[in-house]
Chain A
Amino acid sequence: MGYHDQTSMGGTAKAFLTTHWSLIKDITSDDQRNRALIDLLIQRYWKPVYFYLRRKGYDNEQAKDLTQGFFHEVVLSRQLVQTADPARGRFRSLLLSAMERYVIDQMDKETARKRIPKEKLVSLDLADHWDLPDVVFESSPADSYNYGWVSALLDQILSQVQAKCREQDMEIHWNIFHDRVVRPIVEDAACPSLSEICKKYGIENEKKASNMMITVKRCFQAALKECIRNTVASEQNIDEELREIMRFFPKRAQHSD
């Protein structure tokens, strides 16, 4: 990570928003750029923020509003990110402390009056009866946030990998990876045997199927590591970040076989 140049985004922590800005660099109008950035942040990070808010006791509607408002505030005023402790060097913790402050602010009547009207917010599409994972209610707000963070991180990486596979005419590669790795893990489902996979996708032998899966797995691994790198300010923060993410999970979840 070499993003240490000063920009108008403020402080060292700017790096994170700079990284995100770079993803929407083709948009020229300021207003549109802001909206695009908000959209991107919501897409990527609504889960941790929303889970945190739900655990704080807000109902679905309130939590959705606050999630949207929060990301507008982050992008438009930048105040939140600036005043958060950049020394922590990790976007995840930065966003969490920014939000903690945002929630306190929202309880202040004066701030509440200044809220952006709902219709002007970048929307957060979320079904009303969205099934919240139990863990959100069983853990602390911070842990719910962390759970949401990891869930969002994995969603993002898997989506990217899937898209890339499609782009390179490697949809079957992706399907094998999804059937053999993602689904069994995420849904705690039975893992289909390689011979079943071969039958399903018309692959000549198991070895080939296995190699195809490994191709995608390696790609997933590389993308995940890259992504985590992008959420910390320096290499030194990576280990700390990984330790903290892993610490959030219960011990028994260690890979046991």
Chain B
Amino acid sequence: MTTDFTSGSKPERLKELLALGLEESEVEEETQSSSPLDLFMEKPGSRIGRYELKHVLGEGAMAVVYLAQQQQPVKRQVALKILKPGMDSKAIISRFEAERQALALLDHPNVAHIHDAGATEDKRPYFAMEYVEGLPVTEYCDKNRLPIKERLHLFLMVCRAVHHAHQKGIIHRDIKPSNILVSLQDGQPVPKVIDFGLAKAISGSLSGRTLVTEQDQLLGTPEYMSPEQADMANEDIDTRSDIYSLGALLYVLLTGVLPFDFETLRKDGVEHIRQVIRDNDPKTPSTRLTNLGDKAHKVAETRRTEVATLVKRLHKELEWIPLKAMRKERSERYQSASELAEDIEGYLEGVALTAGPPSTMYRIKKIVRRNRALITGIAAVIAVSIVGTVISTVFAIKANQQARASQAISDFLTKDLFASIHEVAATKSEITVESLLDVSSEHLKGKFDQEPLIKASIRSVIGIAYYKVGNFEAAQSNMKRAIELRRDCLGHNDFQTLELMMWLGWYYMQDSKYDEAEKILVETVDDMRRTVSDVNWNLLEATSRLAWVYYLQERFDEAEKLQAEALEVVQRKLGPNHLYAPNHMEGLAFVYWERGDREKALEINKKAVEIYQRDPDVDMGMAGGNIKSLAWMYTELGHFSEAEELYLNDLKLKSRMDDGEESINFLRRVGELGTMYRKWEKYDEAEKWLLKAEEIARRVFGNDHQITNTGVNNLIVLYEAWNKPEQANQWRAKMPEPAPEPSR
């Protein structure tokens, strides 16, 4: 009789049930001869091939394991693993056969052997394996209250067994406590790794997919599954996948808890779990243990120690071993199980470990990786550069301030800034760094009101980030707020505050707000002169910036006076070719240029660049400004090949283009190079560079950005000069509004 289960159910519900029933339809081919309704046919007492079934040892998601008696050719007990219906027997057996020769080479006291494989009458595959009467390794350790040291000794044996198999070309793919059984031999605990060779045969084309298709199986394995296994699309599994699982196992042996708390994560579905495996780093074992509360006592007790002692021991260095084994990037893990074993041995012998706390860059990459689904490629690059700036800022602050501040900023970055990605994603189709900053800036309101210095640090960090993405207005208001907060607490002579003021002046100047720029820079220079020596780099820089503001206001005498005085002090006190000099020489060169003394301008700027060229280790960030202004002067004077030489060789534009650089400064230089070629009437070259610059700008900064418009405008000017009005008009149509001036 048919029972009515589904009447009245909504179509989408029926579809869900149908979809559940149709999962994995491709592995179903071989089971036709058996009834699809057979659950398990085998009952204790029945025979499978030469094995007589005794009783069920366990029921797994994929298989039932029986204790069985073999009579021929040898009399022995075996564990017989029979797969549940619904799998492709032929393929499984043939995959197993393919591995068989390799498996035969496995000869290690800590690896359980697989004796035989075959198919039941209804064609379900079975495997006859060495029967190991033991407990899963974690259970054994807890039951016997093994201290950390003894746990490590057991784990070492496991590593060596896995390494042995890896050397024979066999990857386990499913290392977890229930696949490592510990039994006593001559009174000594001996771990045995079981199921070597099975995962590949069973999963085969399914590799990694089990996570999705057998959702309910999530209880069992994903905790030990490497990110590359969790990634469905990835068929490329190597021995380092086992290293990851070993790391997870070690984590559990040490702390008594899993690296990820799947109990809570599971609620959000499979995709979420997969995401966590792929993108989240596990908390350090010591942190995890500290957060366990009462449970921590039990954990410590089963390790015959105190919570505090255990935490201390883990924190000191031991915990870096599982964390290194569990790195997301395979290349950052131990490269072999024996390397992992060596670090364990090293620890036991008190030798320095190869594992250690992750580097700053590692953490930055992690933040981006966690959000890579949302941050598109380019935004990710910008995000890395911003986070890089920010983190170095944080570290700089750390030197001066208490760790509390740097922690707060670091938290803000990871929790607020990058968490806001999701908020932005919900409302906007395109995620830009700027929109992230907007949201995180909102988040900051009302926070840290009792800790104005921390708030100021975060504001300044946001200000710098806004400047980097070209939002000058937001950069200014954040920086201004940061300065106010600091001044309220620290008064007017705090040097870091003065530094921020210098930056704020610079932001005003970039935004053509010369009066504001002048006001704050005058104040900065005055305050700095009172507090630091006259060859302090920051004071010189602030002075130079103030001079540039005068220059832009066409107050050339004042600009010249400031630059000349600064240059004189530098050369007198630090030497004529000191690297601080070119900055002021460039400023002077432009003053001469504007007054019409082009030869003198060129002369002094050439000398400035020569100072840099003398020093092979010079920082491009410093030298770049002088070189590009010299190149510009050459262009204006019609000395094109000299300009070309500077752009291509000294500024390395060609190789930077090949490297995929996409910064604003780089694009500006490329725009200048293209414009130089246009003036040189080398239109083909000009077109090549300008098109590329426009394409990068549009991709990186979006359609409405000033840098993109400049790129378009450069092309319009080029095509007009080239007498290609049609192309010029096509580009003109892409301009949102009246074109800005082309770059010089």
Give A residues with C-beta under 8 Å from B: 43-44, 47, 131, 133, 135, 147, 150-152, 154-162, 164-165, 168, 170, 173, 181-182, 185-188, 194, 206-208, 210-226, 242, 245-246, 248-250, 252-253, 255, 257
Contact = CB atoms under 8 A, between A and B. Distances in A.
Contacts of B23: 221
B39 A219 contact: yes
A188 B11 CA distance: 11
Nearest to A138: B11
B5 A219 contact: no
B741 interface: no
B39 A164 contact: yes
By Cβ-Cβ distance, the 6 closest A-B pairs, closest first, are A253-B12, A222-B36, A257-B269, A224-B21, A249-B15, A218-B86
B212 to A, nearest CB: 10
Contacts, number: 159
B38 interface: yes
Given A151-B9, A160-B37, A219-B86, 20 more contacts: A43-B1, A133-B8, A147-B14, A151-B7, A154-B14, A155-B4, A155-B6, A186-B17, A194-B219, A206-B219, A210-B216, A211-B61, A216-B39, A218-B85, A219-B85, A221-B24, A222-B85, A225-B21, A253-B16, A257-B268
B82 to A, nearest CB: 12
A168 B60 CA distance: 18
Interface of B: 1-25, 28, 31-32, 36-40, 59-61, 84-86, 214, 216-217, 219-220, 268-271
A112 B220 CA distance: 62
B26 to A, nearest CB: 10
A3 to B, nearest CB: 13
A19 to B, nearest CB: 14
Contact of B37 (A43, A182, A212, A222): A222
A249 B61 CA distance: 31
A186 B24 CA distance: 21
Contacts of B39: 164-165, 168, 170, 173, 215-216, 219
A221 B17 contact: no
A164 B40 CA distance: 11
B12 A220 contact: no
20 contacts: A131-B8, A154-B21, A155-B3, A157-B21, A159-B2, A164-B39, A186-B13, A206-B219, A214-B84, A217-B20, A219-B86, A221-B28, A221-B86, A223-B36, A224-B18, A224-B22, A225-B28, A226-B36, A252-B12, A255-B19
Nearest to A139: B11
A214 B2 contact: no
Given A186-B9, A225-B25, A255-B16, A44 B85 contact: no
Given A154-B5, A214-B61, A242-B22, A147 B11 contact: yes
B21 to A, nearest CB: 4
Nearest to B83: A218
A156 B220 CA distance: 31
B10 A207 contact: no
Contacts of B10: 133, 135, 188
Given A147-B11, A186-B13, A213-B216, A222 B3 contact: no
A16 B6 CA distance: 24
Nearest to B1: A159
B37 A219 contact: yes
A47 B7 contact: yes
Contact of B15 (A158, A222, A246): A246
A159 B3 contact: yes
B37 A164 contact: yes
Q: In the complex, which of the residues A131, A162, A221, A242 has the most CB atoms of chain B within 10 Å of its own CB atom? A: A221
B184 to A, nearest CB: 25
B59 A181 contact: no
Given A155-B3, A162-B3, A222 B86 contact: yes
Contact of A211 (B8, B14, B59): B59
Contacts of A213: 216
Contacts of A223: 36-37
Contacts of A43: 1-2
Task: Give the residue among A154, A213, A222 with the most B Cβ atoms within 10 A.
Answer: A222
Contacts of B28: 221-222, 225
Given A160-B37, A214-B217, A133 B84 contact: no
A245 B270 contact: no
Given A246-B15, A249-B14, A257-B271, A219 B36 contact: yes
Given A216-B39, A253-B12, A222 B6 contact: no
A220 B37 CA distance: 7
Contact of B2 (A44, A217, A252): A44
Contact of A250 (B11, B20, B24, B59): B11
A156 B2 contact: yes
A186 B6 contact: yes
A168 B28 CA distance: 23
Nearest to A255: B19
A250 B18 contact: no
A23 B7 CA distance: 25
Contact of B216 (A214, A220, A224): A214
Given A133-B9, A210-B61, A150 B18 contact: yes
A145 B640 CA distance: 79
Nearest to A157: B21
A218 B84 contact: yes
B2 A154 contact: no
Nearest to A187: B9
Nearest to B63: A211
Contacts of B4: 155
A252 B10 CA distance: 12
A217 to B, nearest CB: 7
A83 B17 CA distance: 34
A206 B7 CA distance: 31
Nearest to B31: A222
A185 B17 contact: yes
A112 to B, nearest CB: 30
A1 to B, nearest CB: 10
B19 A188 contact: no
Contacts of B24: 221
Contacts of A150: 14-15, 18
Contact of A253 (B5, B11, B20, B214): B11
B269 A155 contact: no
B354 to A, nearest CB: 36
A133 B7 contact: yes
Contacts of A170: 39
B11 to A, nearest CB: 5
A160 B220 CA distance: 29
A155 B5 contact: yes
Contacts of B270: 257
Given A214-B214, A214-B216, A220-B21, A250 B12 contact: yes
Contacts of B61: 210-211, 214
Contacts of A188: 9-10, 13
Contacts of A250: 11-12
B22 A215 contact: no
Contacts of A47: 7
Contacts of B5: 154-155, 158-159, 182, 186
A223 B5 CA distance: 16
Nearest to B87: A218
B150 to A, nearest CB: 27
A166 B24 CA distance: 26
